[in-house]
Chain A
Amino acid sequence: MAAYIAHYLVMVGIYSILALSLNLLIGYSGIFSLAHAALYGIGAYASAVAALKLGLGFWGGMLVAASVGALASSLVAIPSLRVAGDYYIVASFGLQMVILTVFVNWTDVTNGHAGLAGIPRPHAFGYAIDNPFKYVVLTLVIGALTYAICHRLTHSAFGRRLRAVRDDEIAALAIGKDVVRAKILIVTISSALGALAGSLYAHYITYINPSSFTLEESIFITSLVILGGTQRLAGPCVGAAILLAVPEALKFLSIPDTIAAPMRQILYGGLLIAFMFLRPEGILGSPHRKKPSAAIQ
């Protein structure tokens, strides 16, 4: 039971990093991305390949993962964020599909559907992180670091500029902010952090294949952010803790697997819709719906 809880905590930590980094885009920049699972995957594959084929350690692999994630997203962000509007949703959707296809088909490196096995558990400061309990600590440290980075970014002139761009791009341009640069920068940072989560995942599960990094996964990460609330840093972490508990709770109901999987999807969908109506700002957001009269005034 203790190992089971440790596993849950590790996964909450990994998904918190994913949701925190995605919220830099959705909540603080108003950029909607559907490629976060792909970047998570890039991080996982990059550090797995770094460990298995290049013999790089955990920390080196993380650095590679973050760099490759940042690079991949900036290739798409640089051309597409120059165009105003919601163009990036489509571009990121494309990025998600292309990267997943690469995972499946670049068999020399990724081993296709069969995936990569035998990814070593990390060593930190000469200390083997070889069981879920130790991994909880490692995840917590990296999660806290991510939180600190996001906090610094959002609670500063940098974050103020992002919110200005989010709320009124024209006004931000007029006051002298380089809007395109700000957007490309935050997409790159968000992707690097997302890839970090992938690295953490690969070294924890020790086996990865493309099915963990699909479009559905991207949507799942998005729902963590929306459910938890986009206006507070802690929101996405709360979202992760709750949505990851849902399938675990279903396990106790002794439902056959064939029913449990679709059940889970129905529950996620139902929760998202319920939140849109009842608490559009998420769990940590303001509990009150905006009254129509306030909008009319």
Chain B
Amino acid sequence: MNAPILTIEHVSKAFGGIQAVQDCTFDVMPGLITGLIGPNGAGKTTIFNLITGFLRADSGSIGLHGSELRGLPPHQVQAAGVIRTFQHLRLWGKMTVLENVLLGCRTPLGESVLTLFLRPGRVRTEEAAARERAMEVLEFFGLSARSAELAEDLAYPEQKLLSMARIFATDAQVLLLDEPTSGLDTDSLAKIVPMVRRLVERGKTVLLIEHNMELIAQLSDEVVFLHEGRVLARGKAEEITRDPALTEIYFGV
């Protein structure tokens, strides 16, 4: 087995008197889908926020390929290779589907004032390449026919796909998906679940938050079970979902 790509070691975070994440340790193996599960308030989204730099851990270490991510602002975490989606998607609704994905593509020359005015030729080449890449990504997600529409005009399952498409367009290797299946009906699930698998086939590593216990086994290779901010169990998806003690905590019976 090769080395983990993302390592979370002894990470803690408190909000005032509430210990949201306590001495959390787990790692994510490259090329796998790791599911982060646990009852409401277990600290799943807090961990996402800690990894991606939206929150700063009180202690512990977050490593990507051995380099430290803790303390980096979100845009630098993304540059290092970890990117996330949001539970509430946060698409740019007034921008087109294509623009949403273009924002994930790297366009450093077009974003710099100097090169924008001094190297128009290179900026044009870069923009054309980015558009081509964005269209490929949309094709991959089955959204290319909608590229000119406003993101807010898409149906909800398509918006979910778009939120994944725009992070897929970045160079980031590790994708953090916050509840990719929430709010979807069975038909839409049948489209999105295999899509997550295809991300891994394209060389990405996925860490996802999931509430639906039935979907966990389908979606993930490994599962980390969180409870009250601690890692309660780790293992293969089948083992965790069949453990009666864990199911009891999860469903509160």
Contact = CB atoms under 8 A, between A and B. Distances in A.
Given A152-B117, A185-B113, A157 B130 contact: yes
A157 B92 CA distance: 15
B66 interface: no
A293 interface: no
Interface stretch (B22-30, B73-81, B208-216, B227-235): B73-81
B113 A174 contact: no
Contact of B83 (A149, A164, A175, A189): A175
**Which of A161, A168, A176, A189 has the most chain B CB atoms closer than 10 A to its own CB?**
A176
A123 interface: no
Interface stretch (B5-13, B37-45, B57-65, B93-101): B93-101
Main secondary structure of the interface of A (DSSP, over half): helix
A164 B84 contact: no
B170 A160 contact: no
A87 interface: no
Interface in B81-123: 83-84, 86, 90-95, 99, 102-104, 107, 109-113, 116-117, 123
Nearest to B108: A157
A86 interface: no
A14 interface: no
A160 B102 contact: yes
A168 B94 CA distance: 10
Interface in B106-147: 107, 109-113, 116-117, 123, 126-127, 130
B94 to A, nearest CB: 6
B127 A175 contact: no
Contacts of A164: 92, 95, 103
A168 B110 contact: no
A59 interface: no
A130 interface: no
A161 B103 contact: yes
A138 to B, nearest CB: 22
Contact of A176 (B79, B90, B94, B102): B79
A176 B110 contact: no
Interface residues of A, number: 24
A248 interface: no
B90 A171 contact: yes
Contacts of A177: 75, 103
B111 to A, nearest CB: 5
Contacts of B110: 156-158
Contacts, number: 83
B166 interface: yes
Classify chain B's interface size: 35 or more
Contacts of B111: 157-158, 161
Contacts of B73: 173
B220 interface: no
Nearest to B79: A176
B137 to A, nearest CB: 13
A32 to B, nearest CB: 18
A174 B84 contact: yes
Given A156-B127, A189-B113, A163 B95 contact: yes
Contacts of B79: 176
Contacts of A161: 103, 111
Given A164-B92, A174-B90, 16 more contacts: A152-B117, A157-B110, A157-B127, A160-B99, A161-B111, A163-B95, A164-B95, A167-B95, A170-B90, A171-B86, A172-B103, A173-B74, A174-B74, A175-B104, A176-B75, A179-B75
The 3 A-B residue pairs whose C-beta atoms are closest, nearest first, are A157-B110, A176-B78, A157-B107
20 contacts: A153-B113, A153-B116, A157-B126, A158-B113, A158-B116, A163-B94, A167-B92, A168-B90, A168-B92, A170-B86, A171-B90, A172-B103, A173-B73, A174-B54, A174-B74, A174-B78, A174-B84, A175-B78, A176-B83, A178-B75
